[in-house]
Amino acid sequence: MQLFGAQGAGSAAIEVALNQAGVAYRLIEAATWEPDSELARLRRQNPCSRSPP
């Protein structure tokens, strides 16, 4: 599973829930305020770049 998020982006609650459920995931750093993040990749899957998609 892939989780798009970044510090301050609101993904922490989802990360906690996935960890508690024992679900393996890969965090993909994507934030509108981080120019070197994977924002373009996020926008391909979620054009609004918001959660929920």
Q: How many angstroms separate the Cα of 32 from the Cα of each of 5, 22, 23, 25?
A: 10, 29, 26, 21
| Assigned domain for 51 exists | no
Q: For residue 28, what are the β-bridge partners?
A: 4
| Assigned domain for 52 exists | no
For residue 21, the enclosing domain spans 2-45
Instruction: Specify the pLDDT at position 52.
Output: 54
Total of domains in the chain: 1
| Assigned domain for 38 exists | yes
Instruction: Specify the pLDDT at position 51.
Output: 60
HSE (side-chain half, CA atoms, 13 Å) at 12: 4
Q: 1-53 pLDDT, tens per residue?
A: 899 888 877 888 999 999 999 999 999 988 878 878 888 888 888 888 776 55
